[in-house]
A and B are shown apart, each in its own frame.
Chain A
């Protein structure tokens, strides 16, 4: 494998920029699905290097951001159940729910713990056998196998106080929903790199076939992203959209079979609600019946009451690529990473946070 520095090589990157400029004949609208791509594009100022006709839109690929308001409220309700230890990735702590956040709930005395992996949560369950330990399972196909692994491990090791509140989601169904919605016209998609490591590139094949939209799976360094952009433009200019991999060092068409088997063992797809997009068929990972004793939804009554999204928050529109964060009236004023109003300003993968932190100097 090449060292990561090769993919940051500015000479190589600028050569690709030249290639892209020569190739670009007309307008092209590309969407980077994944929040980590948005962050890298802004961090390296890649949009400034592209020909004027090539537009890049940010997609909904941030698991924290797409978590529905009602689900955040349910997580907070779970944290308030007496004796429960709620384990979560750090990003979720600050996401505002309708009335509170996990961070605030923790300050009020509830036991909410930040973990780096599901195995940390499993460890907490082992050390606190008298308390129910619930892992807040937010993530895409990248994280879902580790959640599945923790459930399988809890079953084999009989850790009966461990459960998962699964809010994990699948990406291809929401890509379909986005294209079906027809609100924005996209010519090409930079497909998520890490997600594709697990699921491979085959699940995107319906996109060029049914929608005529070009697809390239990309890594997260400047050279990766520019290479993917070049491939996308080549497909668009030639009028022959297909799925390509420009991240061959970790992604194959088939993906990681072991991880997929584990996912199929523990989860089954169910409809899930996405912020800004509503219910999307077969886009959520539901814990299978045979693992129901580890499904927090079966173990606890979770009724938080009516959810309400914060007034003026445009996260939904940002997630669908309908507006850029800077068009939201709250951006940078009422909503900042210190005091986020919506989830897109919280996560490092959130489009609004990326725009805020890596803003372009001339304010574009």
Chain B
């Protein structure tokens, strides 16, 4: 087989077939792909959640993950945030001519590992190859279907006054890792993306607290932007404590250097959840027992004042608005 992806690999002919068989069906091996039909036929029941996302991160490999892991986690997490149990994913590649096949294989291996961890199956897919210069190495799209368990109703418009807000761990790890890679910063050794599938954590959370009002993964725009979206959606005020938000030292050091605020930096393995205050302690214990929630903390609460606004209590005890991310120049991080 060739070393690099050629235009012919996307032509639908023999080379396409070889690529699909070797790289995708072989590695992602399951009953739906093995059938090689035009579409996957699935058995489901009850309420379904359905989502899609495209991934254009550069570089495609980075400490803590790669575009493939990101593509599985992103969609799995979007499903999980609505309380769904992720079941099936689609997987589509847009490949720039010339990408090394070995790199494509590394990405697919990573997809397979992540899908296995998350317990989802990649049941359908597509591959397109575009001319050199028409894409940046590799773009990935995934869509996903999940089943919503009975009684679960988590939504951004469901947040209530008095709710406690829990953050599942440190912020800014993914965004700063990618930025350090792109800017070629040499002191970036300790940075690693937090990219992770959160459905396992969510399932534990729902067991102890089926009445979760809202879950959201603070990806692009970070915690600050996500909180603002929810404040608007639910028409409530949100107050958080700056000192409560955990940030790893290399992340805060690099934010310092580049003049960025970790609250606006992207995460790919963290969630924010809004729950009745009396359920907070038990949920926090449960989250901290899970590997993706071990640093979980209560960062604030939902208030009656300042509807549709987020307020930050600074370390000096003063308060100010925590605005939505506004129009910054940010690199492609997901």
Contact = CB atoms under 8 A, between A and B. Distances in A.
Interface stretch (A38-46, A155-163, A169-177, A319-327): A38-46
Contact of B323 (A17, A114, A357): A357
Contacts of B277: none
B317 A348 contact: no
Interface in A72-86: none
B207 interface: no
Contact of B259 (A4, A348, A360): A348
Interface stretch (A6-14, A21-29, A310-318): A6-14
A329 interface: no
A4 B320 contact: no
Contacts of A10: 243, 315-317
A200 interface: no
Given A357-B323, A359-B323, A361-B321, A222 B311 contact: no
Interface in A172-192: none
A282 interface: no
B320 A358 contact: yes
Nearest to A353: B326
A143 interface: no
Interface of B: 243, 256, 259, 306, 309, 311, 314-321, 323, 326-327, 329
A291 interface: no
Contacts of A43: 314, 320
Given A336-B326, A361-B306, A44 B316 contact: yes
A49 B321 contact: no
Nearest to A36: B259
A46 B320 contact: no
Interface in A23-67: 42-46, 48-49
A358 B321 contact: yes
**Chain A interface residue bracket vs B:** 20 to 34
Contacts of B315: 8, 10, 13, 44, 222
Interface string A333-344: 000111000000
A90 interface: yes
A361 B323 CA distance: 11
B259 A45 contact: no
A222 B318 CA distance: 12
A246 B306 CA distance: 37
A348 B256 CA distance: 14
Scoring A13, A45, A94 by chain B CB atoms within 10 A of each residue's CB, the highest score goes to A45
B316 A222 contact: yes
A49 B306 CA distance: 21
Contacts of A42: 320
A196 B92 CA distance: 55
Contacts of B256: 4
B320 A45 contact: yes
Nearest to A114: B329
Given A357-B323, A358-B323, A359-B321, 19 more contacts: A4-B256, A10-B243, A10-B315, A10-B317, A13-B316, A17-B316, A44-B314, A44-B315, A44-B318, A45-B319, A336-B326, A337-B326, A358-B320, A359-B320, A359-B323, A360-B319, A360-B321, A361-B319, A361-B321
